[in-house]
Amino acid sequence: MKTDGAGAHVLLVDDDVDLSTMLRQYLENEGFRVTVDFNGKQAVDAATSGVYDAVILDVMLPTITGIELLRRIRQDSAIPIIMLTAKGDQVDRVIGLELGADDYMPKPYYPPELVARLRAVLRRRNGERAGAEEDPELGFSDLKVNTPARRVTWQGAPIQLTTTEFNLLVALLQSGDRVATRDQLSRNVLGRAWESYDRSIDVHANNLRQKLLNASEGGVEIETVRGVGYRAKGRQ
């Protein structure tokens, strides 16, 4: 797959026929292949099949919510997912991020911005922003991060992370003892400048913290430096 998304196969799940048709045409003109699911009935099986490179998932669907579909997809797959949420609906955005969405876009959206977000998550999946070539292996103590293989283990046991969680961990490890600011993490991990109202980095950091704490039984900590950012630490 090319890092600019050319040729990438995208699953679009949205019951708005007119909007989906317009977005499909726009994405295809940008070099993507697009399959549309208008009701979400096949979304879980499709998203976890290995056929698609990314999913654009609307929160509001006629038969099942996008939040529930996201939860089911994340049980079996780390495929990049962008949620489409109602404008101003912070609750759905936070819940989506907590359940493992990589990014979100409020509706109505600006198609060029959505394409930019889509390309960003595809680049992150390929490790372009994770610095894989510079640091092929990172970690401390029993935490090992193989960046080319995009694999994380604790004492040899794998830890399942989403694309964004993996890249966030790499960015924190590359910062060493230095605190990584929210703006640095947003630029390096999400591909955009941090805005004071955007909780995306905080939610991803909390998700990562919980997964590492559970897997390492407290051996790895994502420390919050209030008002600044985050730092990865090992057990003292």
pLDDT, position 152: 95
Q: Where is the domain boundary, 71, 96, 125?
A: 125
| Domain containing residue 66: CATH number | 3.40.50.2300
User: Would residue 3 count as lying in a domain?
Assistant: no
pLDDT, position 3: 45
Instruction: Give Cα separations from 105 to 12, 58, 157 (angstroms).
Output: 13, 9, 35
| Domain containing residue 191: CATH number | 1.10.10.10
Separation between Cα atoms, residue 25 and residue 4, nearest integer Å: 18
| Same domain as 86, residue 178 | no
| Same domain as 172, residue 74 | no
DSSP string, 18-55: HHHHHHHHHHHHTT-EEEEESSSTTHHHHHTTT--SEE
End-to-end CA distance of the chain: 41
Closest alpha carbon to 87 in 73, 101, 57, 107: 107
Separation between Cα atoms, residue 103 and residue 13, nearest integer Å: 15
User: Would residue 132 count as lying in a domain?
Assistant: no
Tell me whether strands 143-146 and 151-154 are parallel, antiparallel or unpaired: antiparallel
Domain count, the chain: 2
pLDDT, position 127: 62
pLDDT, position 2: 45
**176: Cβ contacts below 8 Å, ≥ 6 apart:** none
User: Would residue 206 count as lying in a domain?
Assistant: yes
Q: Where is the domain boundary, 100, 125, 150?
A: 125
pLDDT, position 4: 56
| Same domain as 117, residue 27 | yes
Q: Which domain holds residue 176?
A: 137-234
User: Would residue 1 count as lying in a domain?
Assistant: no
pLDDT, position 1: 42
Separation between Cα atoms, residue 137 and residue 17, nearest integer Å: 45
| Same domain as 100, residue 141 | no
Question: How many other C-beta atoms lie within 10 A of the C-beta of residue 64?
Answer: 15
User: Would residue 207 count as lying in a domain?
Assistant: yes
Q: What is the pLDDT along the chain (236 residues), one digit of tens a residue?
A: 444 566 899 999 999 999 999 999 999 999 999 999 998 989 999 999 999 999 999 999 988 999 999 999 999 998 999 999 886 677 888 899 999 999 999 888 899 999 999 998 898 777 654 444 556 788 888 899 998 888 999 999 999 999 899 999 999 999 998 999 999 999 989 888 888 788 899 999 999 999 999 999 888 999 999 989 999 988 75
Structure-token match 């604790």, residue found: 154
User: Would residue 4 count as lying in a domain?
Assistant: no
User: Would residue 150 count as lying in a domain?
Assistant: yes
CB 35 within 8 A of CB 9: yes
Backbone φ and ψ of 233, nearest 5°: -135, 150
| Same domain as 120, residue 158 | no
pLDDT, position 8: 94
| Same domain as 143, residue 67 | no
User: Would residue 131 count as lying in a domain?
Assistant: no
Positive or negative, the CA dihedral 76, 77, 78, 80 is negative
